[in-house]
Amino acid sequence: MVGAAMEGVGTVTEDEEASGRYIVVKALEDGVVIMGLTRGKDTRSHHSERLDAGEVLVAQFTELTAAIKIRGKAEIMTDVGKVSAGV
């Protein structure tokens, strides 16, 4: 089962070109806010989460989520590298 679940990890098909990518956010302080922003004509916040120091959130870009905004000190890991926010 694990092998089957891992098939295709790290690859993006044409159907997933605009979605399906993940990011990992690790809070470095209490109160880090992560907001999902919508696609379309008007960009709006559709979901938010609050993390405390040491908590981790795995988020996915989808057909609904075009951008993810992070407020506070955090490490962000993506398939293209690692970046720090709020430092």
What is the rounded average pLDDT of the residues 67-81? 94
pLDDT score at 53: 98
Which tens digit of pLDDT belongs to each residue from 1-54? Answer: 344 444 444 544 444 455 578 999 999 999 999 998 888 778 788 889 999 999
CB atoms under 10 Å from CB of 67, counted, come to: 12
- Level-2 CATH architecture, domain 18-82: Sandwich (2.60)
What is the rounded average pLDDT of the residues 66-83? 94
Domain boundaries, the chain: 18-82
pLDDT score at 7: 47
| Predicted TM-score (pTM) above 0.75 | no
